[in-house]
Structure 1
Amino acid sequence: MKKIIAILLLVVMSITMMVGCSAKETEKSDNELTKVVISEFRHLGWLPVYVAYQNGYFQKEGLAPEFALYKDGPIAFQGMHGGDSQFCLLSQEPVLKAEEEGLDSSIIYTVLDTRLYGFVGSKDVKSVKDLKGQAIFAGMPGSAPYSFVSAILKEGGLDPQKDVTFVNLDYSASMTALSQGQIKASYINVDNRTEIKNMDVNILVDTSSPTDAAKYLKTDVFTGEIITTTSKFAAENPETVQGFVNAVHKGTKWINEHNSEEVAKLVAPLFQGMEEDVLAIKIEIIKDAFTKTGYISEESQAAVDNFAIKNGVINTPIPYNKIIDMQFVNAIK
């Protein structure tokens, strides 16, 4: 694990700190607030956090949030464990892997109740089997997209370590690489349908489809996109963690009570370069998957464990109470 951490930290290109001042005024002055830093790579899946930020919910809980932006989830996660932040927004796979190797974390909230991932191929790729010997993109090793694409390849009868070449790209560059023939297939988030609608590509897998969700995730409820902190921080700062969870849950409720256009208008300042109407379309695609409660059940966690084991992320199931900490969700006010 030490080697993995070292490698991940070496590939960090930059970290951008965004000073935490909400779009709305709060009742407390800055010197009364507790600073919290959130490691992340910006993505619509974590909208409850961004809504909480824009609506001033963190400040109302006595917190002053800042974001630390990284190029991928595993790197953001290592930034948290390196002391750069107190909370991290990412998928479960890096957290489970680290837990198995002795790096303790507490998963405190899920933002989505299913995983909305896709896999697309160029126009001549009709099935996964057509990818043998080809270059593909799937995020960085250890990430959830990498595990997801590995699962797809295995289901298609290919060996991820032998039959394809994984290309290192930024997520934003993968569609260009696909259209230019530099790669033959790419992981996408389901909301990226907006980017591929005019591209001549084949959608090989889309887990927003119940059929594909059942085939690749093996469950209807897959709480893989989460918020985590270190176990040490959760134990030593329960009031801060509770305030953070309270704020995020208020953001979750706001999303579920407003339409996609209203959500897009609120969070647009955090997604600079994206037109508000496009942002609204993307949000509409994923909106029904947002959690209502933030709760991770033992059953849904078992599904995530099984997925991680099958795809070589971990070797054995991690006990639910060792990594899932729902005390803060249960105490939401």
Structure 2
Amino acid sequence: MQITKRALLLAAALMLAFAGVPVKAQPAEKPRLALGVGGKPLLYYLPLTVAERKGFFKDEGLDVSINDFGGGAKSLQALVGGSVDVVTGAYEHTIRMQAKGQDIVSVIELGRFPGIVLVARKDRPITSVKDLKGAKIGVTAPGSSTNFFVSFLLAREGLKPEDVAFVGVGGGASAVAQMKRGEIDAMSNLDPVITKLESDGDVVVLADSRTEAGNEKIFGGANPAAVLYMKRDFIERNPVTTQKLVNAFHRALVWLKTATPEDVAAVVPEEYLLGDRALYMAAVKNSLPVYSRTGLIPEQGMKNALKMLVEFDPELKAAAIDLPRTFDDRFVKAVPAGK
């Protein structure tokens, strides 16, 4: 077998990245890169905002341009289409894309719980998931993790995604406004949107994945949420860049372990507070348990995610999914001590 020059260069780069040579001393192959995200103000993506605002990307020598899309499905489309290099998005997308023949891989877990909450307007006759038949349900974007969450819950009640109407509402003030105006009957969304609606007395909670107990009840255990994912060939071409990205995100996770709601509110942009700093801090308090403690996705978490998707996705029921290929743990394990 003939070994190409490119293969030798890749092998050498990987050896440098994982063989004790300090990554900081190595130049990133791609120091300027585009990152996609679907709803950056959501607390689901707080580790990204922390890494950006605290200067962790810059400390790694990276110039990261963040492209905020209306939902996770749109940022995934941008990755597949080549307009972004990497994405912070739901882990489930790595599974679904493998079934479609796309080799998308996650490299660090940012959220160990989805943190997604399904709520219904108080003035609607909806008190449980089975009452949602025929309802208009807001999600951050069709095909996003908030959409998957509802589809899974519907399937457990014998309902199909076609039994409801999904409406993309985004993940910020517009989502709150559409619920308040009565344009939708229910919503699957995240904090601070959910805490705002709860605080104002507009909704009742039907399912809540912000806590360990909630995840146990819904999924039977942890279910990985936000991750950093990319095409496998990006990793192969840019192992040092990938390591630097993981270093920055891991540093954000470490910071969040001891951060208070006040610390978080002081870091994020003013517009993320939805005009109410106290309410935002309450939302942060509700969401702090969701962030990953290690950056590593446990095997059972991967299995829970696949089990959820298979429940309502016929394509996945027929697919042979290689779960270990959805997560490359080498980079988290190679994070330097103290980061």
Deviations 1:275-309 (A, max 9, x none): 44433222211112211210012221111111111
Aligned to 1:94: 93
Name structure 2 gaps, 5 residues minimum. 1-23
Alpha-carbon offset, residue 321 of structure 1: 2.8
Change (3 A) 1:70 1:207: same
Give the aligned residue type for 2:241.
T
Aligned length: 303
CA contact (8 A) 1:113 1:222 kept: yes
Aligned to 1:295: 296
Change (3 A) 1:258 1:133: closer
Aligned to 1:319: 322
Change (3 A) 1:268 1:276: farther
Q: Aligned with 2:89: secondary structure? A: strand
Which moves more between the two structures, 95-104 or 178-187?
178-187
Alpha-carbon offset, residue 248 of structure 1: 1.0
Alpha-carbon offset, residue 225 of structure 1: 1.6
CA contact (8 A) 1:261 1:277 kept: no
Deviations 1:59-101 (A, max 9, x none): 2212111101111111111212222222101112333222211
Q: 1:195 aligns with which of 183, 194, 197?
A: 197
Change (3 A) 1:252 1:211: closer
Change (3 A) 1:298 1:83: same
Deviations 1:160-189 (A, max 9, x none): 21x322234334434433333332211121
**What TM-score, normalized to structure 1?**
0.83
Alpha-carbon offset, residue 111 of structure 1: 0.7
Aligned to 1:281: 282
Q: 2:32 aligns with which of 31, 35, 42?
A: 35
CA contact (8 A) 2:121 2:203 kept: yes
CA distance in 1, matches of 2:219, 2:175: 23
Give the aligned residue type for 2:263.
E
Give the aligned residue type for 1:127.
S
* Structure 1 residue 332 corresponds to structure 2 residue 332: no
| Percent identity over paired residues | 24
Aligned to 1:167: 167
CA distance in 2, matches of 1:297, 1:239: 24
**Equivalent residues in 2 for 1:98-117 (5 A)?**
98-117=97-116
CA contact (8 A) 1:33 1:62 kept: no
1 or 2 for the larger relative contact order (CA 8 Å, sep ≥6)? 2
Alpha-carbon offset, residue 155 of structure 1: 2.3
CA distance in 1, matches of 2:242, 2:29: 17
Change (3 A) 1:304 1:138: same
Aligned to 2:208: 206
CA distance in 2, matches of 1:81, 1:133: 33
CA distance in 1, matches of 2:134, 2:30: 55
Change (3 A) 1:32 1:142: closer
Q: Aligned with 1:271: secondary structure? A: helix
CA distance in 1, matches of 2:43, 2:169: 20
Aligned to 1:235: 236
**What TM-score, normalized to structure 2?**
0.81
Q: Aligned with 1:314: secondary structure? A: helix
CA contact (8 A) 2:210 2:289 kept: no
CA distance in 2, matches of 1:72, 1:273: 19
Please identify runs of 4+ aligned residues in structure 1 that moved more than 4 A: 272-275
Change (3 A) 1:102 1:179: same
Aligned to 1:22: none
Alpha-carbon offset, residue 270 of structure 1: 7.3
Give the aligned residue type for 1:193.
T
Change (3 A) 1:157 1:222: same
Name structure 1 gaps, 5 residues minimum. 1-26
Alpha-carbon offset, residue 139 of structure 1: 3.8
